[in-house]
Amino acid sequence: MIRLALALVMVLALATTAAAQGPRVEPPGGGLTGPSIGPPVGPLVPPSVPTEPSTPDLIVDLSRPRVSITSAFHGESMLLFGMFDPPGEIVVVVVGPPGRETVMRKQRVLGLWLNTGRQAFDDVPAYYAIAASQPLQRLLARGSGEILSLEDRLATIRPVGERSPEEIAQFRNGLVEVKRSEGLYPAAIGQITVQAGRLFRVELPFPSGLDEGVYEIRTYLLREGKIAAAVSRPLPVGKVGFSAQLAGWAANDGALYGLGAILMALLVGWAGGSIMRRL
C-alpha cells in the first residue's frame, strides 16, 4: 500500500509540471529551429526601403537663381553645370515665357516707309536657345521627339486671323529675323563642355532685350537617341531697384506717372536754361 501511494504521488507531480509548461510545439519535418540572423525577408521588408542605394542619373544647378534687370543691364551670361551617369549626351533648352507677338510689314510707298500689313502670332516664346554636347542634328535624327529645334518650335505657333500659307510663312520668317537681331533667338548652338566623362558646364547668354517672366531651362540626358533623364529649372527674370519701382508706377498709376514726367522735364529745362544764362 505504501509503495502504491508513493507511485500515485509521483504521477500527480509529473502531470502538474507538464501542465505548467504548456503544450509543446514540434518543428515541421522534425527539424530544429533557432533565432534567425540578418534582416527580415519577404513581406516583412517595407516596400519604401530600397534594397540597394540609388543615385539620380542627372544633377543640374545654376550659378545664380535669377536674372536681375537694372537700369545698367546690358545682358549677361549664366553658368549651368551638373553631373550625369555615363554614358550619354547632354542637351539644354532655354525657353522664355510664351505670348502674343505682332509682326509689321513695311513697304516703300512714294519714297516713304509705311506699314502695309500686320500679323499676330500666339504661343511665341520670348526667348529660345539650345546648347548640346554633340551636333544637334545628329542627336535629333535619332528620334528624341521632345527636344525641338527653333524651326520645329516656331512651326507650332498659332497665327491669328486668316491668311494664305505663303503669307504666314513670310511673316514667320520676319518674326525670326527680328528676334535674332535682338539676340533673343541665337542662331548658333551653344557648346556644352563635358569633363571626366560625367561633369558638364555651359555658359547661357541672356541679351539686354529680355522680357520679364519665368523662363524654363530644360536639361536632357540622351542615351542611344532616347531621353534617359530630364531636369527642368525655372529662372525668374525681372526688374529690380529703381527701374522696377518706376515700371510699377507707370503700370499702376499712369496718370501720375505722366504728370511726374512732365514736371521733371519742365524742371530739367528750367535748370538747364538757368545754367546757360549764367554762363
* Amino acid symbol at 258: G
Evaluate if residue 231 carries a pLDDT over 90: yes
Q: Per the domain annotation, does 49 fall within a domain? A: no
Q: Per the domain annotation, does 142 fall within a domain? A: yes
Tally of domains within the chain: 1
Q: Per the domain annotation, does 255 fall within a domain? A: no
The 8-class DSSP code of residue 192 comes to P
C-alpha cell at 177: 529675323
* Calpha distance 152→249 (Å, rounded): 39
Q: Per the domain annotation, does 20 fall within a domain? A: no
Q: Per the domain annotation, does 16 fall within a domain? A: no
Q: Per the domain annotation, does 258 fall within a domain? A: no
- pLDDT band, very low/low/confident/very high, at 246 (cuts 50, 70, 90): low
Q: Per the domain annotation, does 182 fall within a domain? A: yes
Answer yes or no: are the C-beta atoms of 101 and 82 closer than 8 Å: no
Q: Is 56 buried (19+), middle (13-18) or exposed (0-12) by CB count in 10 A?
A: exposed
Q: Per the domain annotation, does 165 fall within a domain? A: yes
- pLDDT band, very low/low/confident/very high, at 244 (cuts 50, 70, 90): low
106-161 residue pLDDT tens: 888 777 888 888 999 999 999 999 999 998 878 777 666 788 889 999 989 999 98
Count of C-beta atoms within a 10 Å radius of residue 269: 10
| Collapsed DSSP state (helix, strand, coil) of residue 211 | coil
The count of C-alpha atoms lying within 13 angstroms of the C-alpha of 168, restricted to the half-sphere facing its C-beta, is: 14
- What residues form DSSP beta bridges with 189? none
10-69 residue pLDDT tens: 544 444 444 444 444 444 444 444 444 444 444 454 454 445 545 578 999 999 999 999
In which domain, by residue range, is 135 found? 62-244
Predicted confidence at residue 15, as pLDDT, reads: 46
Using left for φ > 0, alpha for ψ between -120 and 50, and beta otherwise, residue 197 falls in: left
